[in-house]
Structure 1
């Protein structure tokens, strides 16, 4: 009886994984104590074998009720196999005008799928590295927020376009 339950559970897991056929890369990093230190650069390395097909790139974030801001500033860096580097400063809304967190989820954890790049092609095959760090500051202050509380996970996802 136990073997049947484990087999069924494995089958369901494989079925769900295969339903996400658009995913090319999808990885998360859990942040210790649900806090993102300003010096903690999250890094994802991924292979690119297709330099023709268009892709959408996303930064995935999970936040909890301890996140104290309505927006989020990030600094990203994409390293290409040939040594080229692209750095971007990005801002995302994390809450609506009433203060309700955006994103998906029924509990205190909200998952945000944030567009990073849309409809792009990678110019060459090889290993790419994507780096991201938080760049939050309080209004009127020069120093960045040392510990950004309420961010539980940071992820990076690449999807084939339809």
Structure 2
């Protein structure tokens, strides 16, 4: 039953995101056995052509409600096409409301997907292939019940 639900949810997500003109790049990586090991630091590579555009970068997290914490600490490293580091930062992503324990994001049953704004109004100075590396920074290794992580790069919407 879960398998059919997962297929249905993936198809619906694909349908909803395929019509998104702001999206420049989006990829999610399933983590082996639903656990994120510290030495498993996925690298996401995306192409930037328009250096006049301002971009927002989001982190995607798929998690199971059996996850033991309300938050997830992740570190990013963003590299330019010439491999110079543009930025690095530790992020706290809230997966559940700290007071109520209510899961954040979209989901049903016991699996939720959350998309969190990580870097806003990013200007890329060069055209080319950028890479963003994500590392989990929790005190548990491996970190169970984190099923997938990903990155979304989108054209920033004009600020009012």
TM (normalized to structure 1)? 0.82
Q: Which residue of 146, 155, 159 corresponds with 1:160?
A: 155
Q: Which has the larger radius of gyration?
A: 1
1:23 matches 2:23: yes
The CA deviation at 1:66 is: 2.1
How far, CA to CA, are the matches of 2:15 and 2:100 in structure 1?
A: 39
Q: Secondary structure at the match of 1:33?
A: helix
- The residue matched to 2:58 in structure 1 has which SS? strand
Unpaired runs of 5+ residues, structure 1, are: 1-11, 138-144
CA distance in 1, matches of 2:122, 2:146: 28
CA pair 106-49 structure 1, distance change in 2 beyond 3 A:
same
Gap change, CA 1:124 and 1:111, over 3 Å in 2: same
Aligned equivalent of 2:103:
101
- The CA RMSD over aligned residues, in Å, is 1.9
User: What TM-score does the superposition give when structure 2 sets the normalisation length?
Assistant: 0.83
Number of aligned residues: 144
1:60 maps to which residue?
60
Q: Where in structure 1 do 4 or more consecutive aligned residues deviate above 4 Å? A: 12-18
| 14 and 152 in structure 1: CA distance in 2 versus 1, 3 angstrom threshold | closer
Which position in structure 2 is the counterpart of 1:131? 133
Query: Residues 30 and 91 from structure 1, CA distance in 2 versus in 1: closer, same or farther, beyond 3 angstroms?
Result: same
Q: CA shift at 1:45, angstroms?
A: 0.8
Structure 2 alignment gaps of length 5 or more: 1-11
Residues 67-106 of structure 1 aligned to structure 2 (within 5 Å): 67-85=67-85, 86-96=87-97, 97-106=99-108
Q: CA deviation at 1:115?
A: 1.1
